[in-house]
Structure 1
Amino acid sequence: MASASSSFPNKKGETRNMQPLLKGRPRWLAVLDYGLFQVHANGRIIGICGFLIQTDAGENVLIDTGFPAKYADDAEAATAEDELGSFGRVLSLTHQNLAPAQLALLGLSTSDIDLMIQSHTHIDHVGFMDAFPNTPILIAAAERALPRPLYWSGKQPMGWPDRKYIEIHSDIEIGAGFDVFLVPGHAPGQLAFMVSLPETGAVLLTSDAISRAAEIDEKFAGSWDETRAIENGARLMDMAAEQKAKVIFGHSPEQWPTLRKAPAWYD
């Protein structure tokens, strides 16, 4: 069966009268702990994160799903199979760090997710993309157009799950107080997010568009498209400054230990 797919147009013009994907506004945000990874080149230890946003209408939006389950079963064997060892190694990843267990900490199951968003399709973000059979997937059209998810450095064992895909081509607002930004650079269809919470206020989730603050000074070396990464990184930080937003980076060694993680919430 072919996967259903629909494109979500630009915010301008025809989208003015479109119904948003979400009925409610963001009410709570949880940071999901998908384990720790060490990058060989510099020894940097990074947290692997996902996010669960719950609206005041009771909708649950999941952003990214971490590593595949095989990394909790046997990280060494999985690393060898995916040829990930040239890049780094899993330091800490148990079954408690898998997407279903992280959701369970919040009292949720895979059937409670109303919308899944793929920030991009690298290995540490797509591990459970196929685990939510009735949930539509919002993804950048540029990412979905690839023959298979990016996964890791030419190793692309995953196929696209048979789902309804909502493809976006530009920045969109999927509901009041919930913006999705198309920010290619790290990946062809990289996404970032701004949510407005009642108490915390605006929160910018950069995902891998800005993995850590130092990446800005490093000019995003090693990105899929360094020039676009620089441009979009600056755009995101300008928006964060304008809205006085709390910024949560994609893989910041300094920030990761300070973040409130599930089962705790930001409200």
Structure 2
Amino acid sequence: MYIIPLGTCNCPYEVVAPGVSDGNLVKLPVPSYLIKLDNGKNLLIDTGMSRLHITDPLATWRGTEMVDVLVPEMQPEDNLEVRLAELDVRPTDIDYVINTHLHFDHAGNNDLFQRATFFVQREHYDFAKDNGRFPNQYWNLPKLKHELLDGEMELFPGIEVLLTPGHAPAHESVMVRLPETGNMVVCGDAVYTQDNLDHASWGGQADPEAAAESAAKLQRIAQEQSATLLFGHDPVQAKQFHRSPQSYR
């Protein structure tokens, strides 16, 4: 598994963890995850922010109330195509994509992967379709093939989707079982940062009560299955884990 860095999204910290460091701006890391499956296929979990933001940070939110709240900051090397090329992988080499959810910083490069099958929860897909908070121009495209899921399941050996609503309806997290490294859970935005857990700060989520329940579920799974939680946008944790081209096995 490779943790692929795709720039940062700058925003007020109260958006992430209200009551912890209100008034401060934070650079939130935006990752994607490449997993080489045992069958030789390539799987991505989330696709980050659109490469359009490299030259136009306002590409997604210009003219909306979010334009000053979520500000992408990307360098040319943060283009997902460039990051994959560092691993000798082309967009046409990606067989599957799991979207934890369809916000702009998790599905922004879906259009690159026309050969892939996209897995997303049916309830979430229906909620996000034609919803301005989930910019449809990046993922609601007729050329993309979606396989809609109904609940938790093992998609591939060692890859399980877990229902973790709260950030959005039918948000999903992903358990990745690595033979050498151990179990890792890609939380998506079920947990933004460690501060959410430490301060029980869920007011930045769409449904705070559901988010708290999903976080408790992930903590329970992590304890029971000796799994590491990979938070959605934690700048501290991002410095603690190898980034691509280094990998976890």
User: Normalising to structure 1: TM-score of the pair?
Assistant: 0.82
- Kindly report which structure 2 residues correspond to 1:108-123, keeping only aligned pairs within 5 A, or say none: 108-123=89-104
Structure 1 pair 150/244, CA: closer, same or farther in 2 (3 Å)? farther
C-alpha distance in 1 between matches for 2:157 and 2:183: 12
C-alpha distance in 2 between matches for 1:147 and 1:240: 29
State yes or no: 1:166 paired with 2:147: yes
Structure 1 pair 203/105, CA: closer, same or farther in 2 (3 Å)? same
Runs of 4+ in 1 over 4 A off after TM superposition: 76-79, 154-159
Q: Which residue of 2 aligns with 1:196?
A: 177
User: Structure 1: which 5+ runs fail to align?
Assistant: 1-28
Q: Does the 8 A contact of 2:96 with 2:119 survive in 1?
A: yes
Q: Which residue of 1 aligns with 2:82?
A: 101
Secondary structure of the corresponding residue to residue 45 of structure 1: strand
Secondary structure of the corresponding residue to residue 255 of structure 1: helix
Deviations 1:68-114 (A, max 9, x none): 12201121565535553331323x31221122111111110001111
Which of 214, 219, 223 matches 2:205?
A: 223
Letter in 2 for 1:129: N
Deviations 1:144-188 (A, max 9, x none): 113626563x76555612232111121110122111111111011
- Kindly report which structure 2 residues correspond to 1:62-141, keeping only aligned pairs within 5 A, or say none: 62-76=44-58, 79-81=61-63, 83-90=65-72, 92-141=73-122
Which of 36, 42, 59 matches 1:60?
A: 42
Deviations 1:200-232 (A, max 9, x none): 011111111111121123341121111111111
Structure 1 pair 149/235, CA: closer, same or farther in 2 (3 Å)? farther
233-242 vs 37-46, which deviates more? 37-46
210-219 vs 129-138, which deviates more? 210-219
Q: Which residue of 1 aligns with 2:4?
A: 32
Deviations 1:2-58 (A, max 9, x none): xxxxxxxxxxxxxxxxxxxxxxxxxxx000101012212431221001101111221
Q: Which residue of 2 aligns with 1:148?
A: 129
Q: Does the 8 A contact of 2:104 with 2:135 survive in 1?
A: no
- Kindly report which structure 2 residues correspond to 1:8-27, keeping only aligned pairs within 5 A, or say none: none
User: Normalising to structure 2: TM-score of the pair?
Assistant: 0.88
Q: Does the 8 A contact of 1:121 with 1:150 survive in 2?
A: no
State yes or no: 1:184 paired with 2:184: no
Q: Which residue of 1 aligns with 2:17?
A: none
Structure 1 pair 77/155, CA: closer, same or farther in 2 (3 Å)? closer
Q: CA deviation at 1:251?
A: 0.6
Q: Does the 8 A contact of 2:102 with 2:128 survive in 1?
A: no
Secondary structure of the corresponding residue to residue 174 of structure 2: strand
Which of 27, 30, 39 matches 1:45?
A: 27
Letter in 2 for 1:248: L
Structure 1 pair 94/149, CA: closer, same or farther in 2 (3 Å)? farther
C-alpha distance in 1 between matches for 2:178 and 2:56: 38
CA RMSD of aligned residues (A): 2.0
C-alpha distance in 2 between matches for 1:165 and 1:77: 25
Alignment size in residue pairs: 237
Identity of aligned residues (%): 27
User: Structure 2: which 5+ runs fail to align?
Assistant: 15-23
C-alpha distance in 2 between matches for 1:76 and 1:145: 26
C-alpha distance in 2 between matches for 1:165 and 1:244: 32
Q: Does the 8 A contact of 2:108 with 2:139 survive in 1?
A: no
C-alpha distance in 1 between matches for 2:64 and 2:82: 23
Structure 1 pair 65/77, CA: closer, same or farther in 2 (3 Å)? closer
Letter in 2 for 1:172: M
Secondary structure of the corresponding residue to residue 110 of structure 2: coil
Higher RCO by CA contacts (8 Å cutoff, separation 6 or greater): 1
